[in-house]
Amino acid sequence: MPLTEMEFNRYIRQIHLKNIGVEGQQKLKKARVLCVGAGGLGSPLLVYLAAAGVGTIGIIDHDAVEISNLPRQILYQDRHVGEQKVCAAKTQLMKLNPACEIKTYNEKLDSTNAPALIDQFDIVADCTDNFAARYLINEHCVALGKPFVFASIHEFEGQCSIFLGDEGPCYQCLFPATSQNGMLPDCRTAGVLGVLPGLLGLIQAAEIIKWIVGQGTLLAGRVMMVDMLTMQFREFSLSHNPDCETCKRYRMMRPSKIERQQRDVKMNDYIISPSELSHALENNQDIQLVDVRTPEKHQAFNIGGTLIPLEELPNRFQELDPNKMVVTYCTSGGKSMTALQFLLSAGFKSVKSLDGGMTAWQKEKLK
């Protein structure tokens, strides 16, 4: 995505950095970041992502601005009290950088909207204040192979890490669902030092920018902790938990980078072109079509078959006949290839992925 002259002048100080340059700034312009929660952590994170030139920023939050938010949620002012946070945030960010596209979702993230929403973005910022939301984000990010940056705050202390989605430890490896950490009080009851979420939100923003431009050492496999009373920063290593239920449920769908590289050449044997699939269907070949997209995309346009969203596949693959050919399809071919790899690992012998997905299918039909 080329930079305009105005954008070049605006981001010139970042472009001068040898680890960013024009190419890195173009990556930021192309990037899509979802921020879950627009409060104390989300406020500084959103400001600096917009200022850095992230092209598309999504914000989901269902709360309104309260006067008690103002000491730490620096995105808002007195005049915003009573206004929905996503609306006030969009107004403020557009004033800061009109070139950014701000998508707002005035709702609570839950199991019904999380898959489709997270799937639209490259990386997720967890700026929530409760364990239930973090487990939900973690589950769908692991299922979809999306990274997310986590931060939490409590009184004078905070912590931050990044989970890569398709490899390494996940959030539930750090906090098993059976742990008692979910009983920690939030800032409404325990209180919080106003500058603490500011610091953690900036660290989250820095991790996201590093991930987008592909530079530096991420906090993956590491948890950074800070105590503002003593101004001490500590760090501990985090490894994959072999008993993690989320990893066991989804990771068989997400082979490691080395495994993916080893399989790339072999995967060509499992691809079917739109013309080949069309010919097979016209000749009434016994094929099980599986759409692994979201229900919304399936309803908008599909070529038949069974709708099994990718994140539901580990629990629903028994609905398919392993003795018949299965053809998976999605929007552009990436998710359907992931589904194919999962089905192969589950013992299916005849599986193919539609090359290029619905995008290629529609182009083929327009010829």
At 83-115, the pLDDT tens digits run: 999 999 999 999 999 999 999 999 999 988 898
* 354 Cβ contact list (under 8 Å, min separation 6): 272, 274, 277, 327, 328, 329, 330, 333, 336, 360, 361
Q: Confidence class of residue 334 from pLDDT cuts 50, 70 and 90? A: confident
The pLDDT of residue 182 is above 70: no
Lowest mean pLDDT segment, chosen from 60-74, 212-226, 324-338:
324-338
Q: Report the pLDDT averaged over residues 286-315.
A: 91
Q: What are residue 32's phi and psi, to 5 degrees?
A: -125, 115
**Contact criterion met (CB below 8 Å) for 57 and 96:** no
CA angle (141 as vertex; 269, 204 as ends), nearest 5: 130
Q: Taking Cα atoms as reference points, which of 33, 89, 97, 98 lies closest to residue 61?
A: 89
One-letter amino acid identity for 99?
Answer: A
Q: Taking Cα atoms as reference points, which of 142, 10, 121 lies closest to residue 58?
A: 121
What span, in angstroms and rounded, lies between the C-alpha atoms of 211 and 199? 19
Please report the pLDDT score of residue 185 as a whole number. Answer: 54
Indicate which residues carry an active-site annotation: 187, 330
Q: Confidence class of residue 170 from pLDDT cuts 50, 70 and 90? A: very high
Same fold, 31-250 and 255-366: no
Please report the pLDDT score of residue 294 as a whole number. Answer: 92
* 228 Cβ contact list (under 8 Å, min separation 6): 156, 157, 158, 193, 195, 196, 199
Q: Report the pLDDT averaged over residues 185-211.
A: 86
The pLDDT of residue 262 is above 60: no
Domain borders along the chain are: 31-250, 255-366
Q: Taking Cα atoms as reference points, which of 329, 332, 246, 331 lies closest to residue 340?
A: 329
Give 189 or 347, the one with higher predicted confidence: 347
The pLDDT of residue 179 is above 60: no
Please report the pLDDT score of residue 159 as a whole number. Answer: 95
The pLDDT of residue 223 is above 60: yes
Give 61 or 111, the one with higher predicted confidence: 61
* Lateral strand order in the sheet of 306-307: 271-272, 351-354, 325-329, 287-291, 306-307
At 73-82, the pLDDT tens digits run: 999 999 999 9
Please report the pLDDT score of residue 141 as a whole number. Answer: 92
Q: Report the pLDDT averaged over residues 237-242.
A: 88
Does domain 31-250 fall into CATH 2.40.37.10?
no
Q: Which of 95-109, 188-202, 339-353 shows the highest mean pLDDT?
A: 95-109
Q: Confidence class of residue 265 from pLDDT cuts 50, 70 and 90? A: very low
Does domain 255-366 fall into CATH 3.40.50.2300?
no
What span, in angstroms and rounded, lies between the C-alpha atoms of 347 and 96? 53
Q: What is the mean pLDDT of the chain?
A: 88
The pLDDT of residue 133 is above 70: yes
Residue 19: strand pairing partners: none
**Contact criterion met (CB below 8 Å) for 209 and 132:** no
One-letter amino acid identity for 113?
Answer: N
Residue 341: both structure tokens together: 């790899």
Q: Confidence class of residue 246 from pLDDT cuts 50, 70 and 90? A: confident
Please report the pLDDT score of residue 256 as a whole number. Answer: 52
Please report the pLDDT score of residue 269 as a whole number. Answer: 75
The 8 Å CB, 24+ separation contacts for 285-288 are 285/325, 286/324, 286/325, 287/324, 287/325, 287/326, 287/327, 288/320, 288/321, 288/324, 288/325, 288/326, 288/327
10 Å Cβ neighbour count for 35?
29
What span, in angstroms and rounded, lies between the C-alpha atoms of 343 and 319? 12
CA angle (305 as vertex; 304, 311 as ends), nearest 5: 115
